[in-house]
Every structure is written in C-alpha cells, then in structure tokens.
C-alpha cells in the first residue's frame, strides 16, 4: 500500500471537515427557511484550514487568555461559524438545528450570547477594528495570541475598514491577519472590485500591509498562507482569497439572486448529493488524528486595582469639566492598570493627553477616525481592558452604527464627549454636540451622565469604570465653578437637590452648564419672593425618578426642564417619560433654534435657556 504523507493526510482531513461544514450550512438554513448559506460555502475551506490548522487555541476553554482570537466580520455567514464549532464538538446537532430560532443562542448574525463569539457582527466594517483592539490588548498584556478576522469583499467598500487598515499599519500590528473572502458577489450584484485581485492587492499594499493572494479553495495553499502570516513581523497581513460564492452547489454557484436565501427541501437534496459527489472522500489511511494547537501559556493573572483617589478641588474655583475628566482619568489609570484611553486626535481639547502623559503605553491615538476608534474599544474591552474613548460629543454621531453594534454585543466601554452644547460659543453648530444625549439614550443598557463641575466629573469617571455596559459622560468647554465638596458621593442613577422648598412655586430640573443658569434664576426670583427648587440631574439615564417626583410634588407639580441639547431625545424627554402619568405640568426649555457662532451668553439667550428664560418660564 502506498504511504500517504502526513501533510496530505492533514489536507484531506481539512477538506473533509470543510465538506461537513458545507453540508451543515445547507441543512440549518433550509430547516429555518432563511440564512446565508452561499456566503458560507465560499469560505468553508478558509475556515476549516484556519480552525483545524492555522489557529492556536483550546476549543474547550474559550476563556484561555492566550487563545488565538477569531472574528467573523462577514457576520451574515454565521452558518459556517456554527458549523465549525459543531465539528469541534462544542455545538450539538440539536443546537445546530435550532439556528435562528427564538430559543437559540445561534442567531442569524453572531453575538456573544454564544460564548465562542468575540464581538457582535452583521453590520459590515466592524470586525477589523475590533480585531485591532484585541491585538493591541495582546501587546499590553505581553500575550502571544494572534487575531484572525474573516471579511467579505463587499465590506471593503466600508470606510471604517480603511480607518482600521491605516491604524493597524501605523501600530505595526503584526499579530493581526485579515482574511478576505473574495467571492465577487454582494447582496444585489457584483462587489466593487469583483475578482480584480491585482487591484485589491495594490490597495492593501498601499496601506502598509503584507499581502498574500491565494486560491481560497486550495487548502494546502491556504495553510501555507496562514503559516506565513503568523510568522511575519513588522506589519499586519491580509490574505486575499479568491473564492466562488455557493461553491459546490451548481444551482447557486457564482450566480446572482441567492444572497440570504435558502434552498427548498427538494433543492436541498440535490445540493447534498452534489456536495457528496464532489467532496466526500474517505480520509487516506492511516487515519489522521487531529489535536488542537494549544497556546503556549495560560497564566490567568488579573491586574491589581484600587479605588479612584479623592479629588482636591477648592469650592468656587473654576475648572472645565473636560479638564477634570483628563485629571480623573490619569488618576484612574494609576489606580487601575486595566484602564486604556483612546482619543480621536483631539486629546488637547478632551484632555485625554493628561492620561497619555502618565500612562503612554496605555494611550492609543486613533486620529480622526471615530468609527474605528469605537470598535477598537470593543475589541480591547473583550480582552479585559476598561476603555475610555474621547472626542467631541458631536463626532460620536459618525460612529453610531459602531455604538449600536457595541450595544448588541453587550460591550463594556466608556465614552466621553466634550464640547457639548451651544456653550462652546464661537466655533458654531458644526462643533456643538446637540444630539448626543438622544443618541446614547437610545442604546439598550446605556448610561448617560452630564456633570456640571469638576468634583462631580471626577467622581462619575470612577463610577463609569465600575459600570458594565456602555456609559457616556458629557463634558463642557467653559470653565464652571466647583460647587460640590471633594467628599460628595455621586452614583449612576442619582441626582442632587441644590435648592429645596416645601412649598416651591416650581422645580427646575437641569444638568451641565444650565445648572448655573438655574441657580442664577433662583437667586433673582428669591428677591421677588418666588421660590424654586433646583435639581442637578447629572444622571440622565438611569434617572432618579423618585427624587424628581417627590421634589416636583412639593412645587405644586410644576416642572421646568432646562438643557443645552435639542429637545428630541434629551433631558426634557427623559424627565417627561417618567412623569407622564404623574399629573405634572412640564415646561421644556431646550435648543430649538439652529444655533450659530457667538458667545455662550448670547447663544443661551438666543435659545431661551438662560437665567432670564428660566425666570420667564417660572412666572408664566
């Protein structure tokens, strides 16, 4: 009998695994009547070779900190992800058959509800950024793992991909490999570059990546590409794999109109016979025995953490909350070695530079690329980092899709938006964060915080570090006086009653810069024997409804909300949502005119959110 080489046995084993993965991709999508089996068939060989040859990981221990990481950026191809975990013995046949059903963790697109999924994907252009975050976490922790990101060629049209590509090259993330499944088809037709491999190669090379082109169905060639990528030093690697969508099923192979569609039962039987005829060959003898390539180390050591130190501000001193954020973050970095700071090239305005000065290794400049920054933060957080992302509040709107996906993936990241509201003054409306509260409030499980002074800012930075989920801190450009003592306690979900009367004429609920306008109005009205209670609602979500209701009732049910934000989705609507069935009379003062350049005082008067406007509302 002719002896079969070890490598040929391995390649035959990998082909056989790819065959079974193709079969299961067809079966699970036909059973549920939906799903992207054609996108799975094109990358089956790539995934088989990666999981059973290229990667170093313990399939039974997903929490091993030295496991290679895999991200399915083309999340619509989820059948192939679940199929490979079926072959690894993690998913049962019954679980696979429950794909896309209400009770199953195997959703139509991957999410960490299934514990082998790193980050939620499905909105394209997310995976490479998250992978870069994981690579930087490995660098910080001196871990040996490699991160592999499987992408579709259609998502190369996403700008966020090239944001990530630039930064990965800048940080020389050699432990990152992107695998592009170039099957030339998108949802509605051909992809932008189809099978023009030379053009794709030139693009990635221009961005500073090592580029390998390969036939994505040639398993020995794919295995060689993976070995080359892992061994390469100095720059990240992209493997451009030319594939055929629907590979192995002639009815759908390289044909339009099948994206996201399943086969009928009769078509399924024909497809299974074709796949068996093409791929189902016995593994040559002697039988190849597969063992996972286990990582070299698996020490699990958590860094020591301490509580954030108390601030040392003086009552009455003027300090911008954005500056207090930078000071608090730098102090937090000393107390907690897990803390990492990302900034969108405005660190001298957000004052994230104060963190960089003390902890340069844990600061990553993300430049003007907010989408990549947010998904990088998700990747870092999945590897145990407490990530604070900062930029102007208005620029987070660019990354809303990334934030939405972070929420779907139950990510743990802290966002800090500076230059909030019209209080920034002369820079004008393009720089004013006026939609940010609404945007972050809409995310499930999110927290929205808007402190008015340095002490409350400092304390809330510490609270964000202890929160699991997406938290957002809104900071201000102008300097504001310190009104709270350093020992004051601030908790997520709380508020502060700054002025209170048992028989008030109205209750003003506000946050941030308008707090001081409300206090001015209080003093002016008191001289006219008109008394108003004032609440600093620094936690807009979650909201301390009990206190607002209690104080509001002592003010004859008259509530006035004041905010430096558009009315839709802001503080006023947050308050109204908890008071709507309580019999209150609510007046909302907010930014209702399109703002323009001017001083903060001029703009507050123009928008009707200054002390004079509050006085008018109270008298009215």
Mean pLDDT of the chain: 96
Residues 6+ apart with CB under 8 A from 443: 403, 404, 407, 470
Q: Is the pLDDT of residue 186 over 50?
A: yes
What pLDDT, on the 0 to 100 scale, is given for residue 298? 67
Of all residues in the chain, what percent are helix, strand and coil, respectively (each to 5)? 40, 15, 40
pLDDT digits (tens, 9 = 90+) for 558-614: 999 999 999 999 999 999 999 999 999 999 999 999 999 999 999 999 999 999 999
* C-alpha to C-alpha distance for 620 and 597, rounded to whole angstroms: 29
Sheet hosting strand 386-392, strand order edge to edge = 363-365, 339-343, 386-392, 413-418, 470-474, 447-449, 539-541
Strands (E) across 515-584 are located at 532-536, 539-541, 558-562
**Letter string b/e over residues 405-430, b meaning 16 or more CB atoms within 10 A of that residue's CB:** bbbbbebbbbbbbbbbbbbbbeeeee
Kindly report whether the peptide bond that precedes residue 286 is cis, defined as omega within 30 degrees of 0: yes
**Letter string b/e over residues 560-599, b meaning 16 or more CB atoms within 10 A of that residue's CB:** bbbbbbbbebbbbbbbeebbeeeebebbbbbbeeebeeee
Least confident of 279-288, 505-514, 537-546, 565-574: 279-288
Residue 168 pLDDT class (50, 70, 90 cuts): very high
Are 6-279 and 318-481 in the same CATH fold?
Answer: yes
Q: Is the pLDDT of residue 148 over 80?
A: yes
* C-alpha to C-alpha distance for 365 and 384, rounded to whole angstroms: 19
Q: Is the pLDDT of residue 195 over 90?
A: yes
Q: What percent of the chain has pLDDT over 70?
A: 98
Residue 76: CB atoms within 10 Å:
21
Question: Mean pLDDT throughout 107-114?
Answer: 97
As to burial, measured by CB atoms within 10 angstroms (0-12 exposed, 13-18 middle, 19+ buried), residue 101 is exposed
Q: Which CATH architecture has domain 6-279?
A: 3-Layer(aba) Sandwich (3.40)
* C-alpha to C-alpha distance for 605 and 89, rounded to whole angstroms: 66
- pTM value is 0.96
Question: Mean pLDDT throughout 532-557?
Answer: 98
**What does DSSP assign to residue 569?**
T
pLDDT digits (tens, 9 = 90+) for 76-92: 999 999 999 999 999 99
Beta strand 532-536 with 506-510: parallel, antiparallel or unpaired?
parallel
Q: What percent of the chain has pLDDT over 90?
A: 95
Question: Mean pLDDT throughout 94-102?
Answer: 97
Longest dimension (CA), the chain: 107
Using alpha carbons, select from 580, 33, 452 the residue that is nearest to residue 260.
Answer: 33
Q: Which CATH architecture has domain 496-619?
A: 3-Layer(aba) Sandwich (3.40)
pLDDT digits (tens, 9 = 90+) for 35-70: 999 999 999 999 999 999 999 999 999 989 999 999
Strand partners, 496: 536
Interior angle at CA 541, CA 538 and CA 543, nearest 5: 70
Task: Say whether domain 318-481 belongs to CATH 3.40.50.150.
Answer: no
What pLDDT, on the 0 to 100 scale, is given for residue 1? 40
pLDDT digits (tens, 9 = 90+) for 333-351: 999 999 999 999 999 999 9
Domain ranges of the chain: 6-279, 318-481, 496-619
What pLDDT, on the 0 to 100 scale, is given for residue 287? 73
What pLDDT, on the 0 to 100 scale, is given for residue 288? 85
pLDDT digits (tens, 9 = 90+) for 262-303: 999 999 999 999 999 988 765 454 578 899 999 986 677 777
Question: Mean pLDDT throughout 185-189?
Answer: 96
Question: Mean pLDDT throughout 352-356?
Answer: 98
What pLDDT, on the 0 to 100 scale, is given for residue 286? 52
* C-alpha to C-alpha distance for 407 and 115, rounded to whole angstroms: 16
615 classed as catalytic: no
Of residues 268, 370, 517, 573, which has the active-site annotation? 370
What pLDDT, on the 0 to 100 scale, is given for residue 281? 62
Q: Tell me the CA distances in angstroms from 478 to 354, 381, 424, 453, one per residue in order.
A: 18, 31, 7, 10
């Amino acid at each position: 009998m002719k002896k079969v080489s070890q490598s040929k046995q391995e390649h035959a084993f990998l082909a056989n695994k790819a065959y079974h993965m193709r079969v299961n991709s067809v079966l699970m999508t036909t059973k549920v009547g939906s799903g992207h089996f054609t996108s799975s068939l094109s990358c089956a060989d790539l995934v088989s070779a990666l999981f059973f040859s290229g990667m170093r990981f313990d399939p039974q221990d997903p929490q091993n900190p030295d496991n290679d990481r895999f991200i399915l950026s083309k999340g619509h191809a989820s059948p192939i992800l679940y199929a490979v975990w079926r072959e690894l013995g993690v998913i049962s046949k019954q679980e696979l058959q429950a794909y896309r059903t209400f009770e199953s963790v195997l959703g139509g697109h991957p999410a960490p509800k299934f514990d082998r999924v790193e980050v939620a994907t499905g909105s394209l252009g997310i995976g490479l950024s998250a992978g870069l975050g994981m690579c930087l976490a490995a660098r910080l922790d001196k871990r040996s793992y490699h991160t592999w990101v499987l992408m579709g060629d259609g998502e190369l049209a996403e700008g966020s991909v090239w944001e990530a590509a630039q930064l990965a090259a800048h940080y020389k993330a050699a432990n990152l490999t992107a695998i592009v499944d170039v099957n030339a088809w998108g949802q509605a037709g051909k992809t932008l570059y189809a099978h023009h491999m030379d053009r794709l190669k030139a693009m990635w090379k221009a961005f500073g990546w090592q580029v390998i082109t390969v036939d994505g169905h040639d398993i020995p060639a794919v295995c060689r590409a993976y070995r080359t990528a892992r061994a390469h030093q100095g720059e990240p690697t992209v493997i451009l794999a030319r594939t055929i969508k629907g590979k192995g099923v002639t009815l759908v192979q390289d044909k339009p109109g099948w994206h996201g569609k399943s086969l009928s039962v009769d078509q399924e039987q024909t497809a299974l016979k074709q796949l068996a005829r093409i791929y189902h060959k016995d593994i040559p003898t002697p039988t190849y025995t597969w063992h996972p390539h286990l990582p070299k180390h698996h020490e699990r050591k958590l860094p020591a953490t301490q509580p954030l130190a108390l601030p040392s501000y003086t009552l009455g001193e003027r300090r911008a909350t954005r500056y207090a954020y930078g000071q608090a973050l730098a102090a937090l970095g000393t107390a907690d070695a897990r803390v990492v700071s990302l900034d969108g090239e405005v660190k001298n305005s957000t004052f994230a530079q104060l963190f960089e000065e003390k902890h340069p290794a844990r600061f990553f400049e993300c430049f003007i690329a907010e989408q990549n920054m947010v998904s990088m933060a998700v990747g870092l957080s999945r590897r145990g980092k407490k990530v604070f992302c900062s930029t102007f509040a208005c620029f987070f709107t660019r990354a809303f899709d990334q934030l939405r996906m972070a929420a779907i993936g139950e990510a743990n990241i802290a966002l800090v938006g500076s230059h909030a509201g019209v209080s920034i003054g002369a820079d004008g409306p393009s720089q004013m964060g006026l939609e940010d509260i609404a945007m972050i409030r809409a995310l499930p499980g999110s927290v929205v915080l808007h402190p008015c002074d340095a002490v409350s800012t400092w304390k809330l930075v510490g609270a964000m570090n202890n929160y699991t989920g997406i938290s957002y801190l809104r900071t201000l450009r102008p300097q504001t006086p310190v009104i709270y003592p350093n020992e004051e306690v601030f908790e997520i979900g709380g508020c502060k009653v700054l002025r209170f009367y048992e028989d008030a004429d109205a209750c003003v609920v506000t946050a941030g810069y308008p707090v001081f306008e409300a206090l001015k109005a209080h003093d002016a009205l008191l001289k006219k024997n008109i008394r108003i209670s004032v609440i600093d609602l620094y936690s807009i979500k979650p909201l301390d409804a009990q206190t607002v209701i209690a104080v509001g009732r002592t003010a004859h049910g008259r509530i006035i909300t004041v905010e430096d934000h558009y009315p839709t989705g802001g503080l006023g609507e947050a308050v109204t949502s908890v008071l709507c069935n309580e019999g209150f009379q609510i007046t909302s003062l907010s930014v209702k005119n399109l703002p323009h350049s001017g001083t903060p005082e001029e703009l507050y008067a123009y928008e009707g959110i200054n002390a004079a406007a509050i006085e008018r509302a109270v008298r009215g």
